[in-house]
Amino acid sequence: MTIALGSTWHPRGELPRLERLLPKLGEVYASITITLPPFAESGVVQSLQAIAGRLGSILRAPVLTEDWRTGRYLAIREALKSDATHVQYADLDRLLRWVETRSQEWRQVVSIIESCECLVIGRTSQAYHTHPRALVDTEAISNLVASHLLGRAMDFSAGSKGFSRRAAEFIAQHGTHQRAMGTDAEWPIMLKRAGYAVDYLEVEGLDWEIADHEQETAASPERQRQLADRYDTDPRHWARRAAIALEIVQSALDASQRAI
């Protein structure tokens, strides 16, 4: 069995870390796809294109989206252009932290994906509470609604899920494209209704990644906590996270009612 990585990435200074970690990623993934927002810096795009040229088929040329809301779906569709038997979706900044800080756990989870139709990867309580309260409190709402609809308590918003090729093809064919963050709940609920088995596990490595932005290495727990506390002082962050939670809830409800 083989696994392809489909990822989205809004670069915020992580390119040197990505270059450093690419050899590890290449040991695990048969191919790596990165979709970028339309406002990505041209220098980053050109650097990724050059790296892809050197690595051949492992890192595919980056895909610059016209509409950032479609980034996650494009990541799945592009990953399916490989002949891999399974696909892992991941927010790339979260994945980089995971690989850098808990490499063994990451490798173990990738091997588990290869035995699943759909694997929702959540956060342990410890990993979850490295995040600002603006995320913890609002995601508690969207997780509660999506868990009720799926019939099992899960953390849906950790930024990574695994799929069999058949399940990924179903997502690419039947998913919607209007709510990027809503895919957190839409994909597993849609697959469950279509008869796919949805499994769940929690990991330590998907702790809060925003503290890593513009850093040469993953942030320490102390820096995470300091920046999380600062994040919570800005009411705009609370408003944005509430809007994201609403988007996930709306997508969960739509996926539970839409004809499959």
pLDDT in tens, 10-63: 999 999 999 999 999 999 999 999 999 999 999 999 999 998 888 777 898 899
132 has a pLDDT exceeding 80: yes
Residue 229, classed as helix, strand or coil, is helix
Please tell me the pTM assigned to this model.
0.95
At 234, the pLDDT band (50, 70, 90 cuts) reads very high
Residue 110, classed as helix, strand or coil, is helix
Amino acid identity of residue 50, one-letter, is A
Do the beta carbons of residue 149 and residue 257 sit within 8 Å? no
pLDDT of 6: 98
* Angstrom distance (rounded) from CA 124 to CA 133: 16
Report residue 80 as tokens. Answer: 């399916």
Residues 70-120: tens digit of each pLDDT: 999 999 999 999 999 999 999 999 999 999 999 999 999 999 999 999 999
* Angstrom distance (rounded) from CA 178 to CA 195: 24
Domain that holds residue 105: 3-257
Do the beta carbons of residue 254 and residue 174 sit within 8 Å? no
Q: Rounded mean pLDDT of 184-202?
A: 98
pLDDT of 259: 86
Report the domain count for the chain: 1
Domain CATH number, residue 43: 3.90.550.10
At 195, the pLDDT band (50, 70, 90 cuts) reads very high
* Angstrom distance (rounded) from CA 9 to CA 34: 7
β 31-36/198-203 pair status: unpaired
